[in-house]
C-alpha cells in the first residue's frame, strides 16, 4: 500500500463561531477533506473552547464530514463516550495527558472511533514511536498547544521524518502555523494530514490555498520512505 495522499483539515476554531456550521460547510465545499475541532479544557491548556454539545449540533448540520477531535484536555479518558455519541470520527488525545495510553486506545476503538495520538513540541518522538503502531494517526504539534499566534516550529520536522521512516503507511498530522510559507517543510518531512487555521479559514480564497498545499504534499510523496 502506498503512502496515503494528502488530506487538508481546516481548524474551525479560526472560523466565526456564531455561524460555525455554515462556515464549516463552505470550507468542505471548497475542498477541505476533513474538519479539525480543537477541544480545550482550561487545564491541559490555558484556553477553553467547546465540548460535546457543540460537536453534536455541528454533526446534525453536517452529517457526512469527517470530524478529527483534537482533545487538548487533562483527562482524555473521560470524554471518549461523549465525543463518540456526539459524532466524532477520530479521537486524538495527547500522550502527555493519558494515564494509560494503551487502555485509552482500546477505549476509543470500542467507541468505534479512529485513534490519533498527539505530542507536544517538548515531547521526544521516541515516546510515541512504539504506540504509533496502535494508532491510525500521529499528530506532531508544530506550535505549543493552546496558544494562538505562534510561529511554525520547523525544528519539529525531524519528528515527522522519524515517524514516516518507521511507519511509511501511517497518517501523520501537523498542526500549528501551517500555511503556504511553511507547507514545504511539512511536505518534505512526510506529513500528509495538514491542519491549517488562519492560512485557510481567513484567506480570501481558501480553495486555492488548500489546493496548493495539497499539491505540494502529494508531489513530495515519491521522496518519502515507501512501504
Q: Which of 33, 68, 136, 175 is catalytic?
A: 175
On whether residue 113 sits in a domain, the answer given is: yes
Res 148: pLDDT: 66
Extract the residue ranges of the chain whose pLDDT is less than 50. Answer: none
Q: What CATH number should be reported for the domain holding residue 116?
A: 3.20.20.70
Output phi, psi for 153, to 5 deg. Answer: -95, 95
Burial of 109 (0-12, 13-18, 19+ CB in 10 A): middle
- Residue 179 placed within a domain: yes
Q: Report the C-alpha gap between 113 and 129 in whole angstroms.
A: 21
204 is catalytic: no
Residue 1: inside a domain, yes or no? no
Q: What is the pLDDT of residue 4?
A: 76
| Residue 2: per-residue pLDDT | 59
Based on the residue annotation, tell me whether 68 is a catalytic residue of this protein. Answer: no
Does some domain include residue 157? yes
Give residue-wise pLDDT tens across range 126-173.
Answer: 999 999 999 999 999 999 998 766 899 999 999 999 999 999 999 999
* Three cell numbers, residue 209: 490555498
Q: How many domains is the chain partitioned into structurally?
A: 1
Q: CA end-to-end span of the chain, whole Å? A: 7
User: Which range marks the domain in which residue 150 is found?
Assistant: 7-223
Cα 98–192–48 angle (5° rounding)?
Answer: 40
Of the candidates 33, 38, 68, 136, the residue annotated as catalytic is: 38
The model's pLDDT over 176-192, given as tens digits with 9 standing for 90+, comes to 999 999 999 999 999 99
In a domain, 2, yes or no: no
Amino acid at each position: 500500500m502506498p503512502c496515503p495522499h494528502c488530506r487538508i483539515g481546516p481548524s474551525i476554531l479560526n472560523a466565526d463561531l456564531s455561524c460555525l456550521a455554515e462556515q464549516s460547510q463552505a470550507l468542505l465545499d471548497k475542498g477541505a477533506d476533513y474538519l479539525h475541532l480543537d477541544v480545550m479544557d482550561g487545564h491541559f491548556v490555558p484556553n477553553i473552547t467547546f465540548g460535546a454539545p457543540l460537536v453534536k449540533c455541528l454533526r446534525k448540520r453536517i452529517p457526512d464530514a469527517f470530524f478529527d477531535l483534537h482533545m487538548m484536555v487533562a483527562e482524555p479518558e473521560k470524554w471518549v463516550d461523549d465525543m463518540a455519541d456526539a459524532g466524532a470520527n477520530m479521537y486524538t488525545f495527547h500522550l502527555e495527558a493519558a494515564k494509560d495510553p494503551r487502555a485509552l486506545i482500546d477505549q476509543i476503538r470500542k467507541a468505534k472511533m479512529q485513534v490519533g495520538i498527539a505530542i507536544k513540541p517538548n515531547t521526544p518522538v521516541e515516546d510515541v514511536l512504539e504506540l504509533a503502531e496502535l494508532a491510525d494517526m500521529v499528530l506532531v504539534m508544530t506550535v505549543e498547544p493552546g496558544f494562538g499566534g505562534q510561529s511554525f516550529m520547523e525544528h519539529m520536522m525531524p519528528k515527522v521524518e522519524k515517524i514516516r521512516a518507521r511507519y511509511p503507511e501511517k497518517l501523520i498530522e501537523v498542526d500549528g502555523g501551517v500555511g503556504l510559507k511553511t507547507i514545504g517543510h511539512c511536505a518534505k518531512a512526510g506529513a500528509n494530514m495538514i491542519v491549517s487555521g488562519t492560512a485557510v479559514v481567513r484567506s480570501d480564497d481558501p480553495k486555492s490555498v488548500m489546493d496548493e498545499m495539497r499539491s505540494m504534499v502529494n508531489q513530495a510523496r515519491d521522496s518519502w520512505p515507501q512501504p
